[in-house]
Amino acid sequence: MRRLSTEYPVRRISQVLGISRAGHYRDSDIGPRAKENTMLLVEIRRVFDEHKQRYGRPRIRHQLRSQGLRCGKNRVARLMREAGLRAITSRRKRPRTTDSAHGGPIAPNHLKSMDITAPNQAWAMDITYVDCGTGWVYLAAVLDLHLHKIVGWELADQMRSDLVEEALRKAQKRQGYPPSVLIHSDRGSQYASEAFIALSSSFGCIRSMSAKGNCYDNATMESFFGVLKREELNHWSFPDLDAVRSQVFDYIETYYNRKRIHSALGMAPIDFESLQQIKAPAAEFSEASVAPKVGNQKAGAHTPRPRPMVATPGYPSASCSPAELASVSPDTQHIS
């Protein structure tokens, strides 16, 4: 058909041979669709390489569409398949790290009845393991369940309670020491230790634990650890703890929190957090700094004077003067 198209109109050839013009242009690499595919594949490769082969078809398409490129999911999947672009996949699972056979106090599960609508309302905590040249090292992480952002993490060559304590300290410091945060974990002995309970109490945190034998309550943390290993840690050999720390820092702080599109958010966690800050109301000013002055005294610092009752016909209340709004009266205790 390509040879005949130099002598006859493509439309006529298509009618005679029963082949669509779109199919001819797509297969011949000379039509507008084929040229679009060539340019689209360049962008697909760019995103694929930028995210180090971690993105599959859904996230690549999402990022391309956010950049203004029109592309269907089947088209992106076909071009990736033809180009041999395949996202990295997970390896087999390793043994669990949770030791719930202890006599420490178990906290009730408050998470299952909570409606999470704001940052720093509920954090999930868990521990995972990483293989390196010196043996196993352990990663404790804290994840904000509204932002889907890792707000604190710590690495050590042991699983004592000070590992999770340090992760919680870093999370509190990073988020500005928010009060009354619900911290949810499994029933591991680290989270039931006296030291961790005391630290949680000092921060004003509310402890919560998963039901016995129920891993689904803390599935968000399990999902993060799976992503971390699948996309990063499983593809490196680490000689020691410092090498693991460097790689974990690079993935969490420069990629996961800042660049990687979270499927539940449609954007990176840091971008979603910025939106939350924009939508949040402005911080309330203190009464001492913004209250209107009455002579040399500030409103609210003295007993309010009784307001005279002035009868004003035509107004809903005889005690309400049309010349003075209650929201700006110097006798009020607060500014509306």
Q: Are strands 122-132 and 182-185 parallel, antiparallel or unpaired?
A: parallel
Instruction: For residues 121 and 264, state if they share a domain.
Output: yes
Residue 2 one-letter amino acid: R
Instruction: For residues 323 and 236, state if they share a domain.
Output: no
Least confident of 44-48, 119-123, 229-233, 290-294: 290-294
The answer to whether the beta carbons of residues 137 and 241 sit under 8 Å apart is yes
pLDDT tens digits along 170-183: 999 999 999 999 99
pTM here? Answer: 0.60
Q: Residue 70: inside a domain, yes or no?
A: yes
Q: Residue 72: inside a domain, yes or no?
A: yes
Residue of 22, 198, 12 whose CA lies nearest to 105? 198
Instruction: For residues 201 and 303, state if they share a domain.
Output: no
The answer to whether the beta carbons of residues 95 and 156 sit under 8 Å apart is no
**How far apart (Å, rounded) are the C-alpha atoms in residues 99 and 318?**
71
> What length does the chain have?
336
Question: Could you tell me the CATH number of the domain that includes residue 216?
Answer: 3.30.420.10
DSSP, collapsed to helix, strand or coil, labels residue 192 as helix
**How far apart (Å, rounded) are the C-alpha atoms in residues 265 and 271?**
9
Q: Residue 104: inside a domain, yes or no?
A: no
DSSP-assigned letter for residue 119 = T
Sign of the dihedral defined by the CA atoms of residues 242, 171, 268, 58, in that order: positive
Q: Residue 250: inside a domain, yes or no?
A: yes
Q: Residue 94: inside a domain, yes or no?
A: no
Domains in the chain: how many in total?
3
Q: How many Cα atoms sit within 13 Å of 208 on the Cβ side?
A: 20
Instruction: For residues 257 and 127, state if they share a domain.
Output: yes
Instruction: For residues 125 and 202, state if they share a domain.
Output: yes
pLDDT tens digits along 277-326: 876 654 443 333 333 333 344 334 444 444 444 444 443 444 443 444 43
Domain end (from 278, 303, 319): 278
Instruction: For residues 150 and 216, state if they share a domain.
Output: yes
Instruction: For residues 263 and 309, state if they share a domain.
Output: no
Residue 95 has pLDDT above 60, yes or no: no
Domain end (from 240, 256, 278): 278
Instruction: For residues 23 and 145, state if they share a domain.
Output: no
Note down the domain range covering 42. Answer: 4-83
Q: Which two tokens mark 84?
A: 């041999």
Instruction: For residues 122 and 264, state if they share a domain.
Output: yes
- The pLDDT score that the predictor gives to residue 235 is 87
**How far apart (Å, rounded) are the C-alpha atoms in residues 256 and 267?**
11
**How far apart (Å, rounded) are the C-alpha atoms in residues 154 and 139?**
6
Burial of 181 (0-12, 13-18, 19+ CB in 10 A): buried
Q: Which two tokens mark 303?
A: 């007993």
Residue of 123, 190, 187, 185 whose CA lies nearest to 158? 190
**How far apart (Å, rounded) are the C-alpha atoms in residues 335 and 185?**
42
Q: Across all residues in the chain, what is the average pLDDT? A: 78
Instruction: For residues 33 and 132, state if they share a domain.
Output: no
Q: Which two tokens mark 217?
A: 């309550």
Q: Residue 88: inside a domain, yes or no?
A: no
Instruction: For residues 176 and 73, state if they share a domain.
Output: no
Radius of gyration of the chain (CA): 30
pLDDT tens digits along 132-153: 877 889 999 999 999 999 999 9
DSSP, collapsed to helix, strand or coil, labels residue 64 as helix
Instruction: For residues 138 and 255, state if they share a domain.
Output: yes
Contacts of 217 (CB under 8 A, 6+ apart): 109, 111, 112, 184, 186, 210, 211
C-alpha 288 chain-centroid distance: 37
- The pLDDT score that the predictor gives to residue 133 is 79
When pLDDT is averaged across residues 80-97 and rounded to a whole number, the result is 68
Q: Residue 192: inside a domain, yes or no?
A: yes
